[in-house]
Structure 1
Amino acid sequence: MLVIGLSGRACAGKNLFAREFEKQGCLVVDVDLLGHEALAKNVPAIRQAFGDSVITEDTVNRKALGVLVFSDASLLKQLEAITHPTMVGLCQDRIAEAEKNGAKGIVLNAALLHRMGLDRLCDHIVFVKVPFLVRFFRSRKRDHLGFRRFLARERAQKDIVWNNFTQGVPVEKMRNGGPSVIIHRQVVQYCARIGIGVSGK
């Protein structure tokens, strides 16, 4: 079974690529969703680190926490130190389960693939590249972010670059700036090349 890491900065369109990998028969792990699970599993530690202002009825207020940590790099590192080990463990569980069930490929969809060390679990890596302004306009539409908050997010993700993946794992750069058929074609051709494709349609 092949483990494929899917990375790229915020609003690069990684989920569109993930859906195309699913069409090729791969399982997809949305690591952002595992992050929600990790927050739920670490409420006491998060309360202790960041106070009651980010907790609502014994659950983490993700919006309040996001505003806080994206304004201070040291707080973001503190949050990652709490949640990332849990998320990595959950990914390892998903990989083991997929292999046990005979899957031919599993995709770890994670912006922070390298920072979390998840690239060390991967046989291949796909990095999605999209121009800065395209991602900004997408973030304004999707997340209602103003330019200053988008820049704060960009600063927090400045290590998300394709050439950080230099540990001998093959890296494929894909672009998302045109019609969806271009995304489809890139994924189909890539899957065929690494031996897991099922459809050229």
Structure 2
Amino acid sequence: MIRIGLTGSIGMGKSTTAKMFAAEGVPVHDADATVHTLYAGRAAPLIEAAFPGTTVGGKVDRKRLSPHVLGNPEAMKRLEAIVHPLVRAEEQAFLDTARADRRRIVMMDIPLLFETGGDRRVEVSVVVSAAAEIQRQRVLARPDMTEERFEAILAKQMADAEKRRRAHFLIDTGMGMAPARRQVCAILKALAGCG
């Protein structure tokens, strides 16, 4: 089974690209979606214990959690120590199911693939990218996004040029949906997984 790691900086089109792989029949494990599920379930009491006042109705409230961890590397490490093992357990369950189903290719959508060493858990890395101006427009168009928050997120992420350098495959999402879809299928064909 070939494990593809999909990554890309904020606003580069990673989630949309993951859906394109899924449309081609590739099972996708989305780390961000897993975190959302954990924040509404198993992780909530653990996070509340570490960061009191950050949950509402048994779910983590990201707006309440954010001031505790943004710009605070020590607090971020504490949060990651709670969340990362839970995400990894979910990822392993996904891989076990895919293996049992005899899947030839699976995808793990991991936002900080290179930054966290996640690339060591996959055989192939795919990076989605676009021009910096396109990225900025996409991100600043999001609700509740500010220049300051965008810059803080970028500072935490590896530079796009370095991600591109490390990638086995690159998908340029700045040219629109149809070209990105063709690039997805070309990668799957190269990996002998596209019909």
Q: TM-score, normalised by structure 2?
A: 0.88
Q: Which residue of 1 aligns with 2:170?
A: 173
Aligned equivalent of 2:180? 183
**Residues in 1 aligned to 2:137 and 2:68: alpha-carbon distance in whole angstroms:** 23
For residues 12-61 of structure 1, the C-alpha deviation after alignment (integer angstroms, 9 at most, x for no partner) is 10112112212222011111011123333122321222221x11122210
Question: CA offsets, 1:126-157, max 9 Å, x none?
Answer: 01122333222212222431111111111122
Match of 2:128, SS state, is strand
Q: What is the distance in 1 between the residues matched to 2:35 and 2:42?
A: 10
Deviation string, structure 1 residues 141-189 (Cα, Å, up to 9, x no partner): 2243111111111112247742785xxxx72122111121110111111
Deviates more, 1:117-126 or 1:177-186: 117-126
Map of 1:88 onto structure 2 = 88
Counterpart residue number, 1:51: 52
The Cα shift of 1:125 comes to 0.8
How far did 1:89 drift?
Answer: 1.2
Unmatched 5+ residue regions in structure 2? Answer: none
Alignment of 1:93-132 (within 5 A): 93-132=93-132
**Which sits farther off after the overlay, 68-77 or 6-15?**
68-77
Q: CA contact under 8 A between 1:114 and 1:164: conserved in structure 2?
A: no
Q: Answer with 10-19 or 117-126: which moved more.
A: 117-126
For 2:46 and 2:144, how far apart are their aligned partners in 1?
29
Q: CA deviation at 1:91?
A: 0.5
Q: Count residues in correspondence.
A: 193
Equivalence for 1:16 = 16
The alignment's TM-score, normalised by the length of structure 1, stands at 0.86
8 Å CA contact retained: 2:115, 2:157 = no
* 8 A contact 1:43–1:60 mirrored in 2: yes
In structure 2, the CA distance between the partners of 1:131 and 1:50, relative to structure 1 (3 Å rule), is farther
Identify which of 177, 183, 190 aligns with 1:193: 190
> What residue identity is the alignment partner of 2:30?
D
Percent identical: 25
Distance 2:165 2:75 in 1: 23
Residue of structure 2 equivalent to 1:136? 136
CA shift, 1:5, in A, is: 0.4
Q: Equivalent residue of 1:142, what SS?
A: coil
Counterpart residue type for residue 122 of structure 1: V
Letter of the 1:34 partner, please give it. Answer: T
Once the two structures are overlaid, the 10-residue window that deviates more, 25-34 or 56-65, is 56-65
Q: What is the CA distance between 1:81 and its match in structure 2?
A: 1.4
Question: 1: CA distance between counterparts of 2:117 and 2:85?
Answer: 10
